[in-house]
Structure 1
Amino acid sequence: MNIPEQIGNYTLDREIGSGASSQVWLAHHTKLPERQVAVKVLMSQEREAIRRFQREAAIAARLRHPNIVQLYDHGYSQPFFYTMLEHIEGGSLRQLIERQGRIQLDAALRIFRQIAAALDYAHSLGVVHRDMSPGNILIEQGSERALLTDFGIARENGQAITVVNAIMGTPGFFSPEHVQGARAVTHSSDIFSLGVIFYHMLSAQLPWDEPPGLPDNPGFDPPIPLRQRGVESMPADVDRVMLTMLALDPTRRFPSARAAVDELDRIFARHQMTTQIILGATPAAAPTPTGFQSVGVAANEIETTLGPDLIRAPIDRAHRRAEDMRSAPQLASLLDVWAGQHRMYIALLGRLARLHKASSANVYFYRLRLLYEQRSPAEDDEEPDIHAQPFALTPEVDRWKIELPVVTDFSEHPGDRVILPGSTRVVACRPCEGRGLTPCPHCHGKQRVLVTRQIAVSPTGAGAATAAATFPNGAGGGRRTRGSATQEAEPPATAQAPPAPRTEQVLVPCPECEGRGGITCARCEGVGRLVQRKTFRWRRRTDLIHAQDDRPALDESWLQRTCKAELIYRERQSGGFRPEWSTLKAIAPMLAEAQQRADPDTRIVLSELTITFIPVTDIVFDLGKPGDSGLYKLTIYGFENMIPADWRFFNWERVIMISITAFSLLIALICAYFAFR
């Protein structure tokens, strides 16, 4: 299809760009030749393409920002839909980098700040660009103004998504969320892409050797440091900013593009100050300050070392709070409100206070969670070799190399007994010396034992007796035998005392071993062999170590009741600690204490470091009273801006007056009582 020579009041002059489904033409007003616009003409007649083109126009019409290309008009000129846009004399950032390579730091920062401002503005209206790339950034010739354009695949909050699984964007510049699908792309995805653009400006290369997120390279690796790309004389903290912007977890990126700009400004401000001190002459003693001094949150090792792994939103919120606290009127207002909440305090304290200094910091709280695993030294375990089964010939394995149930969380486990592979062997039973029998403990292997039994005695005549064996069945107990004649025993004329019992010892078969002299070995159960293995016992237990930044005169219980600590870091490590933890001065003693609780039989199998913080601001002031040269120091805690009670600011005149009034009233009541009694 041929493009018409004129659309509306504009004459099309020449094509200045093209896309997958559209062309961009330079046009001028037919009556006002100096009035030039860029006309974007949709070449596709597909319903989805038309819908996206119209949606792009609707979104662009809402955006009014000096760093976003302005939309003038949108309509239909058969058979084309068109959009008239602000014409920017110049070219795209992509063309600039292709033409000259790396962009100088000052120019790159200038472009970065402008596009960050445009991006935050769009995000404030609920618009996600979704295709941040150098091709969609225009650089105006002469003014060096940077403008964001092409909202063709942008999305507004609450807008339905027609294509869920499609990957939209420019390869090499889209975020990990783009790979997950359109529904996962948020404003944090734009910040990721902006980080890639900034890296690309400084190095003329991508942060990776190959564009990630594509079928042949789906993973996102950490970015290559800028120094390895040949970018010299760059503060090392810039790489930390890159790691934060390009974090795989969106919550660990900067919450806004402006937050990334502020962090870069702080880095370069420190870097330039350090350079001036090193290169300049020996600085003279600083003059005594006569006005109000205020500083924001100073650089600290938590942000410097763990920056890319921190949850950024609370950190940047703390920096914004610190900037607010640099305002003397803001501090005076807080003091007024605080004093007004206590009737006995000096009224309008903030108006009376002459502020000398305000400085902000973050008080960090640390919790080290530990899971210890204990494995006892190996011990021999034996059982009878009843089945005589063969065992595989394998080398013996160390107890710490045996895989136990996988550690997934900090659950304690009572453990169990585990056999060491390769430690099984067959040995002769030591108690029975391999015979399967042990000497009978009753007969000591002699098969017989002496037993004692009684012999019954029967009386014959006067004082005479004949010995007769007593049998169990009582034979011979009722008859008397004389010669060959048997006659009934006559009852004695008089009763006689029973004879004294008699005993004798005889050898009988041992009843315990049934005359064998031995019994089955209880250890080997008669087989004469034992299966011997090495075993150990294991268990898991948890532990906690707490610490916090040392801050004098801090009422911890009051602080915990009053202010909420914000979570900024939580990381786990299997089998020990992360290397960066040991570089932190506040964390190193905790790690040392944790190691002391381990020994050769106990190891740390899982650790988790959690860091929370509460922002604080210290202010120094005086009350300007004649003859009062004392300075007061107060600390404002938390995002809640809480100040603990302080008796120094009692209005003692009011306290005395109230006391006198109360005492006088009491005396009057007593007098009245006795007067009318």
Structure 2
Amino acid sequence: MVHTFRYDDRPVAIKILIPESTSEATPECKANFQREVNLLSKMEHNNIIKFVAASVEPTMILVTELMEGGSLQKHLKNMYPITFCLEQCLSYALEISQAMEYLHANGIIHRDLKPGNLLLTKDHNHVKLADFGVARDFGDEMTCEAGTYRYMAPEVMSKDPLPKGAKKSYDHKADVFSFALTLWSLITNQIPFKDRIDLMAAYATKNNIRPSLDELPEEIVPLLQSCWMEDPKLRPEFKEITETLIRILQNIYTKKINDLASIKETAKSEAQTSRENENMTMESETMDEKKPKKKCKIKRFFAYFRSCIAF
């Protein structure tokens, strides 16, 4: 449950954890809350939600900066079926990748990367990563499935229940897979595996089924394919993803600049041709105006000549 409030004379978001009374919370719930506060309070990145304060008693409360643009998921839903232009999608993707690159460089796995955990600024120009409730350090053992089935990496999901005390074996590359599905949603403005219930969507990825790449911009297809590879070791690091996104954006902007320059050159050439045609027309009209005057002089000469003969 999230509320807006003012703290130190600035707008903030207040997240109240359930149950509202700390005394009723389980040890696991308290541990998760403490972990989220510890992780978020250490984060210093332009594309990660800023920690403001936290309280344990009488209620577990997390206070962060207020992102007035709401979640990316909600914004996509409101604009459906319209989609973002490719440049805007890639701009968001670059900021997400940079935030995840920072997390991984600091030894943190998010484990629940999805549009619902990405918040927009008021002008919708920038995006920030939020919700570190299930985040873990690289050194932590993964004891269960974590995240959202629809965006979950195949190695995180178990087809059969884990035996008691068994551990999951996956690492930070699970975030890369979730990034791929998030980027696909961002470009298409569709939910991955929308015709399947959440659990069945996870079974689909486990069986190496991926969302359709038909009609997607060809520039982005290789990146998606590499990020959602079944083998986590074959997926790129976020540093590589960031570099790829920058390169794609540079190519797009370079092409636009070249196209614009070509349009300007064509317009300039057409204008020059038009001026030359106008000059030729004016010269032709001037010559036409002069010709009758010459004929008139000749006529007057012959008239004078005839009068002299008559005399």
- TM-score scaled by length of structure 1: 0.34
Q: Structure 1 pair 86/74, CA: closer, same or farther in 2 (3 Å)?
A: same
1:493-504 matches, within 5 Å, as none
- Measure how far apart 1:214 and its partner are: 3.5
- Which of the residues 134, 138, 151 maps onto 2:119? 138
- Which of the residues 138, 146, 152 maps onto 1:157? 138
Q: Say yes or no: does 1:263 pair with 2:248.
A: no
1:254-333 matches, within 5 Å, as 254-256=236-238, 258-270=239-251, 276=258, 280=262
Q: Structure 1 pair 150/190, CA: closer, same or farther in 2 (3 Å)?
A: same
Residues 115-173 of structure 1, C-alpha deviations (whole Å, 9 max, x = no match)? 11111111111000000010100001126221100000000122344xx2x32211211
1:144-543 matches, within 5 Å, as 144-161=125-142, 164=143, 166-180=144-158, 183-206=168-191, 208=193, 210=196, 214=202, 218-227=206-215, 231=216, 234=217, 236-256=218-238, 258-270=239-251, 276=258, 280=262
Q: Structure 1 pair 263/214, CA: closer, same or farther in 2 (3 Å)?
A: closer
Q: Structure 1 pair 113/241, CA: closer, same or farther in 2 (3 Å)?
A: same
Aligned to 2:269: none
Q: Give the conservation status (yes or no) of the 8 Å contact 1:137–1:147.
A: yes
Task: Tell me the distance in 1 between the aligned counterparts of 2:56 and 2:122.
Answer: 31
Identity rate, percent: 24
Residues 570-613 of structure 1, C-alpha deviations (whole Å, 9 max, x = no match)? xxxxxxxxxxxxxxxxxxxxxxxxxxxxxxxxxxxxxxxxxxxx
Q: Structure 1 pair 177/141, CA: closer, same or farther in 2 (3 Å)?
A: same
Task: Tell me the distance in 1 between the aligned counterparts of 2:252 and 2:3.
Answer: 45
Residues 334-370 of structure 1, C-alpha deviations (whole Å, 9 max, x = no match)? xxxxxxxxxxxxxxxxxxxxxxxxxxxxxxxxxxxxx
Q: Structure 1 pair 268/85, CA: closer, same or farther in 2 (3 Å)?
A: closer
Flag as ranges the 4+ runs of structure 1 deviating above 3 A: 180-183, 206-218, 267-281
Task: Tell me the distance in 2 between the aligned counterparts of 1:146 and 1:265.
Answer: 16
- Which of the residues 26, 29, 41 maps onto 1:46? 26
Aligned to 2:94: 113
Task: Tell me the distance in 2 between the aligned counterparts of 1:74 and 1:273.
Answer: 46
Aligned to 1:94: 73
The one-letter amino acid of 1:241's match is L
- Which of the residues 74, 84, 93 maps onto 2:63? 84
Task: Tell me the distance in 2 between the aligned counterparts of 1:176 and 1:85.
Answer: 32
Task: Tell me the distance in 2 between the aligned counterparts of 1:116 and 1:124.
Answer: 12
Aligned to 2:47: 67
- Measure how far apart 1:216 and its partner are: 7.8
- Measure how far apart 1:188 and its partner are: 1.1
Q: Give the conservation status (yes or no) of the 8 Å contact 2:112–2:146.
A: yes
Q: Give the conservation status (yes or no) of the 8 Å contact 2:94–2:246.
A: no
- Measure how far apart 1:220 and its partner are: 2.7
Task: Tell me the distance in 1 between the aligned counterparts of 2:147 and 2:255.
Answer: 41
Residues 295-333 of structure 1, C-alpha deviations (whole Å, 9 max, x = no match)? xxxxxxxxxxxxxxxxxxxxxxxxxxxxxxxxxxxxxxx
Q: Structure 1 pair 247/160, CA: closer, same or farther in 2 (3 Å)?
A: closer
Task: Tell me the distance in 1 between the aligned counterparts of 2:188 and 2:146.
Answer: 25
1:596-675 matches, within 5 Å, as none
SS of 1:55's equivalent in the other structure is helix
Aligned to 1:123: 104
The one-letter amino acid of 1:57's match is V
- TM-score scaled by length of structure 2: 0.71
SS of 1:172's equivalent in the other structure is helix
The one-letter amino acid of 2:168's match is R
Q: Give the conservation status (yes or no) of the 8 Å contact 2:69–2:122.
A: yes
Q: Structure 1 pair 207/217, CA: closer, same or farther in 2 (3 Å)?
A: closer
Task: Tell me the distance in 2 between the aligned counterparts of 1:112 and 1:194.
Answer: 9
- Measure how far apart 1:55 and its partner are: 0.9
SS of 1:184's equivalent in the other structure is coil
Q: Structure 1 pair 215/187, CA: closer, same or farther in 2 (3 Å)?
A: closer
More strand, by proportion: 1
Q: How many residues align?
A: 246
- Measure how far apart 1:262 and its partner are: 2.1
- Measure how far apart 1:279 and its partner are: 9.1
Q: Give the conservation status (yes or no) of the 8 Å contact 2:5–2:11.
A: yes
Task: Tell me the distance in 2 between the aligned counterparts of 1:216 and 1:173.
Answer: 11
Q: Structure 1 pair 113/47, CA: closer, same or farther in 2 (3 Å)?
A: same
The one-letter amino acid of 1:246's match is W
The one-letter amino acid of 2:110's match is H
Q: Give the conservation status (yes or no) of the 8 Å contact 1:25–1:38.
A: yes
Q: Structure 1 pair 186/263, CA: closer, same or farther in 2 (3 Å)?
A: same
- Measure how far apart 1:73 and its partner are: 1.7
Task: Tell me the distance in 1 between the aligned counterparts of 2:245 and 2:12.
Answer: 36
Q: Structure 1 pair 190/217, CA: closer, same or farther in 2 (3 Å)?
A: closer
- Measure how far apart 1:194 and its partner are: 1.0
Q: Give the conservation status (yes or no) of the 8 Å contact 2:155–2:206.
A: no
- Measure how far apart 1:274 and its partner are: 6.0
Q: Structure 1 pair 142/107, CA: closer, same or farther in 2 (3 Å)?
A: same
Q: Give the conservation status (yes or no) of the 8 Å contact 1:176–1:213.
A: no
- Measure how far apart 1:272 and its partner are: 5.8
SS of 2:60's equivalent in the other structure is strand
Task: Tell me the distance in 1 between the aligned counterparts of 2:38 and 2:253.
Answer: 44
Q: Structure 1 pair 220/35, CA: closer, same or farther in 2 (3 Å)?
A: same
What is the aligned-residue RMSD (CA, Å)? Answer: 2.7
Task: Tell me the distance in 1 between the aligned counterparts of 2:186 and 2:204.
Answer: 25
The one-letter amino acid of 1:259's match is E
- Measure how far apart 1:89 and its partner are: 1.5
Higher relative contact order (CA 8 A, sep 6+): 2
**Structure 2 regions of 5+ residues with no counterpart?**
20-24, 266-311
The one-letter amino acid of 1:198's match is L
Residues 234-257 of structure 1, C-alpha deviations (whole Å, 9 max, x = no match)? 2x242111101111111221122x
Residues 452-505 of structure 1, C-alpha deviations (whole Å, 9 max, x = no match)? xxxxxxxxxxxxxxxxxxxxxxxxxxxxxxxxxxxxxxxxxxxxxxxxxxxxxx
Residues 628-671 of structure 1, C-alpha deviations (whole Å, 9 max, x = no match)? xxxxxxxxxxxxxxxxxxxxxxxxxxxxxxxxxxxxxxxxxxxx
Q: Structure 1 pair 109/47, CA: closer, same or farther in 2 (3 Å)?
A: same
